Amino acid sequence: MATVSKMESKSSQVSLLHKISGIVSSDRSVDEMLGEVVGLMVQVTDCDACLVYLLESESDEIVLRASQVPHAAELGRLSVRVGEGITGWVAQHKSVVALPQNAASDKRFIRLPGLVEDTYEAFCSVPLVSGGEVIGVINVHHREPHEYDAEEISLLSFIGEQMGGALSRAKLEEVNAKLQEETLEMKRQLETRKLVERAKGILQFKFQLTEEEAYLRLRNESRRLRRPMRDLAEAIILTEDLSRKSSETQLDREHEGD
């Protein structure tokens, strides 16, 4: 009977390793990765709640980013400083904290507003690690006392190490994507500015307007037609180009006639 139990445990662990490997090698977003972390922790510990915090290096704060229990108001807003509370202690010391019962009595414990999980009995906190550096913390909670044995803690730590690296890569990809989008937006804005300047010049020459008067005419017409100034500027430039080409063609025909 014990042999069967051990075989089932090994099979479960192999299945877990395959799942982690699949997640780590995927191109999931940060939020999708965080959801997977929560799912893995629930699978391993059968916990009643799981919270995932990520370190914001600029502020040296650990911010709540994912949760098994819904925390819409707290996600992205609730945070603790490194070294503050058990979560901050784990981030600072890169060590696991496992409290099988009466977790709130631990001297490092602090109650955070809006977290019902802080009223639960058992609590285990493990660091999310990437390249040897802590990038976040995973907390699992049980309503009733729960003994976190060595195998369970080892699995939680392994998940923290593997998923930490995957999360770091996903965060880097999102940062790069954001930078690319910002670069494209700057290019679009520069192109729009050039088009508007050219359209203003056409209006100034055609209607003997000042630069400010030409701009106001463009802006007011844009509002009246409910079209972007870029579209209006392009239309003005296109009309002017067509008019110029038509005039050039007419002149060419007149010269040919001569």
- Give the residue carrying structure tokens 């003994």: 147
Residue 228 corresponds to which amino acid?
Answer: P
> How would you label 200-220 residue by residue, b for 16+ Cβ within 10 Å and e otherwise?
bebbbeeeeeeeeebbebbee
Residue 258, pLDDT score: 58
Residue 73, pLDDT score: 76
Q: What is the pLDDT of residues 177-234, one digit of tens each?
A: 778 888 888 888 899 999 999 999 999 988 898 999 989 998 998 898 888 989 989 9
Res 152 pLDDT > 70:
yes
Average pLDDT over residues 45-55: 89
pLDDT band at 174 (very low <50, low <70, confident <90, very high): confident
pLDDT band at 171 (very low <50, low <70, confident <90, very high): confident
pLDDT band at 2 (very low <50, low <70, confident <90, very high): very low
Average pLDDT over residues 30-44: 80
pLDDT band at 6 (very low <50, low <70, confident <90, very high): very low
Res 117 pLDDT > 90:
no
Residue 100, pLDDT score: 93
Question: What are the strands of the beta sheet with 133-142, ordered from one edge?
Answer: 79-81, 61-67, 49-56, 133-142, 122-130, 97-99
- Structural domains present in the chain: 2-166 (3.30.450.40), 179-257 (1.10.10.10)
Cα 100 to the chain's mean position, in Å?
33
Residue 36, pLDDT score: 79
With pLDDT > 70 as the criterion, what percentage of the chain qualifies?
Answer: 89
Q: What is the pTM of this model?
A: 0.65
Res 153 pLDDT > 80:
yes
Res 50 pLDDT > 70:
yes
Average pLDDT over residues 131-155: 89
Res 13 pLDDT > 70:
no
Average pLDDT over residues 126-141: 89
Q: What is the pLDDT of residues 71-99, one digit of tens each?
A: 777 888 888 899 999 999 999 999 999 99
